[in-house]
Each structure stands twice: as C-alpha cells, then as structure tokens.
Amino acid sequence: MADLIPEAAPPAALPAGPAASKRVHSYSRFTTAVAVLGLATALYALLRLDSLRDRVDQISDVARQSQAERESLRADLGALAAQQQQHRNELTRTINSLASMPKQVQELSTAVEELHGKTEGPQRAWSRAEALYLMEIAQRSLALHRDVDTAVTALESADSRLASLRDAGLAPVRQQLVRDVQALRSVAMPDVTGIVARLASAEELADRAAVKGVIAVERTADRNKALPEGFLARSRTVVSNALSALISVRRIDDQAGNVVTFDEQMVRRQHLQLLLFTARSAVARHDETMYRTALASARRWLGEFFDLTEPAGRTLLDEIQALEPIRIDPPLPDITASAKLLQKLSPGARPVA
C-alpha cells in the first residue's frame, strides 16, 4: 500500500497551490489508518490462532482420555462377558440337575397329603369333642350353680374350637352358639353378694330392734344400801323395803302391748333373725320361693312383735320391704340346642344329657 502513495511521483506532476498540499495530507492519514487496521487484524488473528491451538490441544487430551476409558470399558465388557458365560454354564448345570425335581415334588406332595389325611381326622374329632365338652360345662354351670358368666365363657370357648376347624358344615352349630350367648348376656342376674350382705346386716340390726310391750323386770332390794343405826330405825327400814317390793303398779296402754319377759324378748328377736337367715340361705341356693316366703314372714313378725316407732325397727322394715321384690332367680334360657346339633354332626360322640 506504500507504493500507491502519490509522494513517489515527480514533483512536477504535483498540482501547485494549497489544493495539492491538502490531497497529499489526506492520502497519508488514510494509509496510516489502513495500516493500523491491518495490524489489529493480524494481532486478533494471532490471538484467535493461539486460542484455537489451545482448544485443539484440549480436544486432543479429551480424545485420548476417551480412548483410554473406551479401552477400559472394552476390557470390563470382556470380563463381564466371561462371567456371564460362566454363570450361564452354571445355570445350565443347575437346570439339568433340577430336571428331576417335579417328580420329587409330586412324591413329597403325595406323602404330605397322606400324612395330613392320617392326622386331620383325629384332630378334627378331638376339637369337636372339646367343643361338646365345653357346651356340657356351660349347661351344668347354668343348671346347678346358675353361673351365667361361666356358661358364656364356656360357649365362647366352644365356638373358638369349632372356628379352628374351618368347616362350613359346622355353621348351624356356630350360629346357635351365638344365639345362646346373646340369650345368656340378656339375662339380668341379681347382685347375690350385695343381697347376702344386706341380709346379714339386717340380722345384726334385728338383735337391737325394740320389742313391742313392757319388759318384766324382777324388782330386787338394794342390798348395798346402808341401814340406819339403832334397832328400831333399822327394823322400820327393813319392813318398809319388804312391803314396797310386794306390789309394783305400772300403767300399760294398748300400743305398748303385753308384758314380756326377757326370755320372750330373746325368742322374738332370734325368730326374726332366723327368718332373715333363711332368706339369706335361699339366696345362696337360688330358691326364690323360700326367699320371698322368709322375707314375708319376717315382715309380718316384725310388724306384730316389734316397735316400729323406734329407728331400728323402722329401718329394718324398710330394708325388708326393699329386698322382698328382688328376683334372685330370673328365668334362664335353654342352651342345649347347640350341643344337640353338634352331636348330630358327630355320630361317634356320646349323646348330650
């Protein structure tokens, strides 16, 4: 570009005057700018070349690293292929050895079925016998002791024995057991312990109840009283005490009753206690007829021979009247149907009583 500058032309060819000087000066600036631009472009090209060279080096390193990893993976794949072939060979040998397994399994299943058939029959019969025995326990507990709780527990245990058999043919028996248990739970059993305790307390109260009438008391002289000194004074005192003990006058109204001795008073109280004890014994035996009869007799005896205006007599009468309407022996349901059904389904079992 330096060859194109007009300064190399002959001086005569340059225009004269200020116009020629200005054109030469503008050419020089343009050339400088172009040179600077070219230099900058060359520097930029060098920088880009160095950057491209570094990038190529990095790519070469990555390529070599990838090649090394590829070789490692190829080696790993070869090892895995060898292991797979080894496992395939072992699996083939195992499959060949298991070729006879179905026959052995069939023989084992046949043996298990034979053993199950030999053991299932006695076990099922034993479970049915247990259930039947528990039903009989429930019936005896209910008939002999009126023990509803024990009967419910026995029937529930019998149902669990039958449930363990998983026999659909026993469904009617289990349904009947459920009905029997529900019937027993609906029975309103009295508080026997509480009733016995109240009757025992009434017996103790009867010993303190006031008997109707006037208690006859033997009048005795006060022997510890000191006699006056002197023969006449002492004689007068002794005669006066003797005369005063001969006759005793008391006023008795109609409400007080007759005159009773200590022995009659004791007999009346003991008879009332005996009636209350009879009622208490009837509760233990679940004898409702005797219970009501004894309490009714005790109520009549109390009203006839005891003073009901006294607190003890009135309290005792209220207690007897409260105990009298209690049902100590409510009707109990019949729970023999389930045992009879089970006995029909078990021909070898003994009949239910």
Q: How much is the pLDDT for 13?
A: 44
pLDDT at 117: 52
Residue-wise pLDDT for 172-214, tens only, equals 999 999 999 999 999 888 888 999 999 999 999 998 888 887 7
- Rounded CA gap, 234 and 240, in Å? 10
With a threshold of 0.85, does the pTM exceed it? no
Strands 259-260 and 214-215: parallel
Mean pLDDT of 11-39: 65
Closest CA to 159 of 145, 180, 142: 180
Mean pLDDT for 91-118 is 70
* pLDDT over 70 at 5, yes or no: no
| Whether the predicted pLDDT of 243 surpasses 50 | yes
The predicted structure's pLDDT at residue 315 = 93
Distance (Å, whole) CA 353 – CA 348? 15
Question: Can you give the CATH number for the domain in which 133 is found?
Answer: 1.20.120
pLDDT category, 10, cuts 50, 70, 90? Answer: very low
Structural domain ending residue among the three candidates 65, 94, 123: 94
234 in any annotated domain: no
Q: Which of 200, 207, 201, 202 is nearest to 266 (CA)?
A: 207
Give the rounded distance of the alpha carbon of 93 from its chain centre: 56
Q: Answer yes or no: do 121 and 169 share one domain.
A: yes
pLDDT tens, position by position, 325-337:
999 888 889 899 8
Whether residue 7 is found in the same domain as residue 116: no
What's the domain range around 24? 2-94
Is residue 224 a part of any domain in this protein? no
User: Considering the domain boundaries, does residue 253 fall inside one?
Assistant: no
Per-residue pLDDT at 16 = 47
Instruction: Output the pLDDT for position 246.
Output: 57
Q: For a pLDDT cut of 70, what percent of the chain falls above it?
A: 76
pLDDT at residue number 121: 63
Distance CA 71, CA 76 (A): 9
Task: Enumerate the β-bridge partners of residue 260.
Answer: 215
- Pair 78, 115 in one domain: no
- pLDDT-derived band at 107 (thresholds 50, 70, 90) equals confident
Q: In this model, does residue 240 exceed pLDDT 90?
A: no
Phi first, then psi, for residue 336 (nearest 5°) are -90, -10
- Look up residue 254 and give its two tokens: 């109609």
Q: Quote the number of domains for the chain.
A: 3
Considering the chain, what is the average pLDDT of its residues?
79
Structural tokens at position 230: 């002197």
What is the DSSP code string of 101-154?
HHHHHHHHHHHHHHHHHHHHHHHHHHHHHHHHHHHHHHHHHHHHS--HHHHHHH
203 and 318 share one domain: yes
Residues 46 and 160 in one domain: no
Distance between CA 76 and CA 84 in Å, rounded? 12
Among 94, 123, 149, residue at a domain's last position: 94
Q: What is the mean pLDDT of residues 107-132?
A: 72
pLDDT at residue 12, rounded to an integer = 44
- pLDDT for position 156: 92
Separation between Cα atoms, residue 239 and residue 237, nearest integer Å? 6
Asked whether residue 33 carries a pLDDT value surpassing 70, the answer given is yes
User: Are residues 114 and 23 both part of a single domain?
Assistant: no
How far from chain centre, in Å, is Cα 291? 40
pLDDT band at residue 274 using 50, 70 and 90 as cut-offs: very high
How many whole angstroms separate alpha carbon 269 and alpha carbon 209? Answer: 8
Could you tell me the pLDDT band of residue 115, with boundaries at 50, 70 and 90?
Answer: low
In a domain, 284, yes or no: yes
Q: What is the pLDDT of residues 287-333, one digit of tens each?
A: 899 999 999 999 999 999 998 888 988 999 999 999 999 998 888 89
Position 254 confidence tier, pLDDT thresholds 50, 70, 90: very low
**What's the CA angle centered on 177, arms 176 and 183, to 5 degrees?**
90
How far is Cα 92 from Cα 66, in angstroms, rounded to an integer? 38
